[in-house]
Amino acid sequence: MSFSLLGLSEPLLRVLREQGYGVPFPIQIKALPAVLSGRDVMAAAETGTGKTAGFVLPLLQRLAGGSTTPANHIRALILTPTRELAVQVAESVATYGKYLSLTSGVVYGGVKINPQMMKLRRGLDVLVATPGRLLDLSAQNAVKFARVETLVLDEADRLLDLGFLCDIRAILALLPKKRQNLLFSATFSEDIRALTETLLKNPLKIEVGPKNSPARSVKQCLYEVDKKRKAGLLSHLLRDRGWPQVLVFTRTRDGADRLVQRLERDGIVAAALHGDKGQQERSRVLAAFKAGDIRVLVATDVVSRGIDINELPRVVNFDLPQVAEDYIHRIGRTGRAGVAGEAVSLVSADEVKHLAAIESLIGQALVREVEIGFIPAHNVPLTRQTVLRPKKPKKPKKPRQGIAPVPGEGQGITATPKGDRGKLQAGRTSPSVAAGKAKESTPEDSRSDRPRRGAVTRKKR
């Protein structure tokens, strides 16, 4: 299917051709006709699969045939959780609306409010905003909502995670009751589903791909490492693997700053991006990273939804997120638009609860690796997903003449070195493992019951 079959106008199709867009993504195929028809839509899809175009393209087409906008009024409102995402969406609106006679703008906190007020005086067809700054502008009577035809909640789950529910309710009270409502996100929590019951009217529910699943184009693995040696391991991997550009996520702002200082001491060009940075500084750092002037960008979750970099090869979780769903959004910064990417997590023993929550959410165990020289003193305990990982069926071996097959061969768990690093492999043993029935490992097994790294587990006869 092509975009021309989805009912888009020629000015929009012209832009898509210029941008090199060929076949639409599944979320766009399902969402575009529904939004064009004026229906409320609740859509969920993997990060990096074209959700923004899924609502911006039909929104612009619906607005194109309307009347002019009075001073300080807006006709469509798009709410986003972060400044970075607001800027990214506003850029998409400007790009897709290149050949349409529509006006658009973006407002967010952290910068002077007067220039934003001046732009709103002329009236805008589309306004992209963060909730806090929008309410500030409303309190000063700089923006009026009587002409709003469409409301979009982009990354709706993150809006709630960051505590914007009260702000959203305050904004909803200012909007006309008769309007189109669109909710787009990579995941939908139970809180989001509860909100939609009062916000949406007979919505079309779209879910593309498995619920709460990362993009299939992202290869995932983890390195077991002691917490105090994470920074050293990251520097080693950057040098040893020759990673050209890496986006690293930490749990705290202080942690991000400390990691940047350590990387710079090791001769690696790095910069931090978090909420304590001013908006001008954040914009400068992000632009430098996109241009390749910064090799490592260390960020916190507050900006994980607004970083959109074409063909970003790799994301590293220096700390696992406390909220499992944030793992999906973090690694969704790579592997976008079907391009292959890699997500690497550095995991210490004290993060096993977060690891278990992530693996339970995505329904799979992450491949475990260890790096020679960084083998942890405290192993990361096995999770339920690791223990229950299905074993690959093995072809029956032909017994040697005069020797009966060994029952139960190949049913243990062992760690074997491979090259300059070892992989923890579930459901495999070395051919030299002795015969007999092995004791199954469970998450409750003590570390003394688990095989030492680089050693072969021998089974008792």
What integer pLDDT is reported at residue 456 of this predicted model? 40
Q: State yes or no: pLDDT of 433 exceeds 80.
A: no
Which range has the worst mean pLDDT, 32-41, 245-254, 295-304, 423-432? Answer: 423-432
Q: State yes or no: pLDDT of 394 exceeds 90.
A: no
Whether residues 369 and 403 share a domain: the answer is no
Q: State yes or no: pLDDT of 409 exceeds 50.
A: no
What integer pLDDT is reported at residue 324 of this predicted model? 87
Whether residues 399 and 320 share a domain: the answer is no
Whether residues 60 and 144 share a domain: the answer is yes
Whether residues 269 and 202 share a domain: the answer is no
Contacts of 193 (CB under 8 A, 6+ apart): none
pLDDT category at 446 given cuts 50, 70, 90 is: very low
Inter-CA distances, 241 with 74, 276, 317, 319, 327, Å: 50, 31, 17, 20, 23
Q: State yes or no: pLDDT of 449 exceeds 50.
A: no
Range list of H helices, 37-129:
51-64, 83-96, 114-121
What integer pLDDT is reported at residue 198 of this predicted model? 80
Query: 213, 184, 180: which is closest to 80 by C-alpha?
Result: 184
Please write the tens of the pLDDT for every residue from 50-64. 889 999 999 999 999
The residue-averaged pLDDT of 381-393 equals 69
Whether residues 300 and 436 share a domain: the answer is no
Whether residues 162 and 304 share a domain: the answer is no
Q: State phi, psi for 379 to the nearest 5 degrees.
A: -65, 150
Q: State yes or no: pLDDT of 334 exceeds 90.
A: no
pLDDT category at 304 given cuts 50, 70, 90 is: low
**What percent of the chain has a predicted confidence (pLDDT) above 90?**
52
pLDDT averaged over the chain?
82
- Tell me if 330 is assigned to some domain: yes
Whether residues 148 and 31 share a domain: the answer is yes
From 171, 186, 208, give the residue that closes a domain: 208
Specify the DSSP element, H or E, that contains 353.
Answer: helix 352-362
Is the separation of the CB atoms in 25 and 50 below 8 Å?
Answer: yes
- Tell me if 415 is assigned to some domain: yes
pLDDT category at 421 given cuts 50, 70, 90 is: very low
- Tell me if 382 is assigned to some domain: no
Please write the tens of the pLDDT for every residue from 219-249. 999 999 999 999 999 999 999 999 989 999 9
78 has which bridge partners? 128, 152
- Tell me if 360 is assigned to some domain: yes
Choose the most confident range, by mean pLDDT, from 42-51, 300-309, 336-345, 380-389.
336-345
Whether residues 294 and 400 share a domain: the answer is no
- Tell me if 385 is assigned to some domain: no
The residue-averaged pLDDT of 192-206 equals 84
Whether residues 202 and 232 share a domain: the answer is no
182 has which bridge partners? 41, 152
Neighbour tally for 200: CB within 10 Å:
18
Q: Are strands 150-154 and 74-79 parallel, antiparallel or unpaired?
A: parallel
Whether residues 287 and 185 share a domain: the answer is no
Q: State yes or no: pLDDT of 277 exceeds 50.
A: yes
From 161, 176, 208, give the residue that closes a domain: 208
**What percent of the chain has a predicted confidence (pLDDT) above 70?**
78
Inter-CA distances, 50 with 47, 140, 185, 323, Å: 8, 35, 11, 24
Q: State phi, psi for 41 to the nearest 5 degrees.
A: -135, 135
Q: Which amino acid is at 150?
A: T
Which range has the worst mean pLDDT, 66-75, 122-131, 341-350, 379-388? Answer: 379-388
Please write the tens of the pLDDT for every residue from 113-144. 999 999 999 999 999 999 999 999 999 999 99
Range of the domain at 445: 390-461
The residue-averaged pLDDT of 303-326 equals 82
CATH number of the domain within which 350 lies: 3.40.50.300
- Tell me if 334 is assigned to some domain: yes
From 176, 208, 240, give the residue that closes a domain: 208
Is the separation of the CB atoms in 126 and 93 below 8 Å?
Answer: yes
What integer pLDDT is reported at residue 208 of this predicted model? 79
What integer pLDDT is reported at residue 371 of this predicted model? 95
What integer pLDDT is reported at residue 231 of this predicted model? 97
Q: Which amino acid is at 3?
A: F
What integer pLDDT is reported at residue 423 of this predicted model? 43
For the chain, the domain total comes to 3
pLDDT category at 207 given cuts 50, 70, 90 is: confident
- Tell me if 204 is assigned to some domain: yes
Burial class (CB in 10 A: 0-12, 13-18, 19+), 323: middle
Question: What's the CA gap between 247 and 312, in Å, rounded?
Answer: 8
What integer pLDDT is reported at residue 3 of this predicted model? 86
The residue-averaged pLDDT of 206-213 equals 70
Whether residues 145 and 16 share a domain: the answer is yes
Question: What's the CA gap between 417 and 287, in Å, rounded?
Answer: 40
Rounded to 5°, the CA angle 377-382-386 comes to 140
- Tell me if 195 is assigned to some domain: yes
Q: State yes or no: pLDDT of 79 exceeds 80.
A: yes
Whether residues 273 and 152 share a domain: the answer is no
What integer pLDDT is reported at residue 45 of this predicted model? 74
